[in-house]
Amino acid sequence: MSTHANTIAQTPQPPYYAVIFTSLRTEADKGYSHMAERMVALAGEQPGFLGVESARDANGLGITVSYWSSEEAIVAWKAQTEHRVAQETGQRVWYSDYQLRVARVERTYGKAR
C-alpha cells in the first residue's frame, strides 16, 4: 500500500477500484496545500484504502487517482466528515472545474517490481 502522492501506488492484484479526480484549480490557495496533504494522510487511515497517485501541471490541471478495495470503502470515504468539508470547500473555493470517475480495475501492467 502506498500513501505517498509522489510515488506509483503499490496495489494488490485486481480486481479493485480506482477513483479518478480530475480538477482545474483556481488561483486561490486559501489552505489548499495543507488540506491536500491532510486528505492523503486521512485516506491512508481509511479501511479499504490501497494507495494514491497525484500530479498537477503549471496551469492548475491535476489528476489524483486513489485506489480502494471495494465500492463500499469508496462510499465510506466520500461520507467521511473531514473529507466532506474538503469537498465542499473545493467546490466553493479551490476548483474552477472538476470531474470524478469511479472505475473497476480488471488488469494491471507495468515494470516488474
Q: How confident is the model at residue 28 (pLDDT cuts 50, 70, 90)?
A: confident
Tens digit of each residue's pLDDT (9 = 90 or more) over 35-88: 999 999 999 999 999 999 999 999 999 999 999 999 999 999 999 999 999 999
Q: Which domain holds residue 45?
A: 16-105
Domain assignment present for residue 9? The answer is no
Mean pLDDT of 89-113: 93
- Percent of the chain residues topping a pLDDT of 90: 84
Residue 4 lies in a domain: no
Q: pTM for this one?
A: 0.89
Q: What is the CA radius of gyration of the chain?
A: 14
67 located within any domain: yes
8 is a domain residue: no
Count of domains forming the chain: 1
At 113 the pLDDT is 63
Position with higher pLDDT, 17 vs 4: 17
pLDDT for residue 97 is more than 50: yes
C-alpha angle with apex 112: 106 to 113, nearest 5 degrees? 105
- What sign for the dihedral angle of Cα 84, 29, 23, 6? negative
CATH code, domain carrying 21 = 3.30.70.100
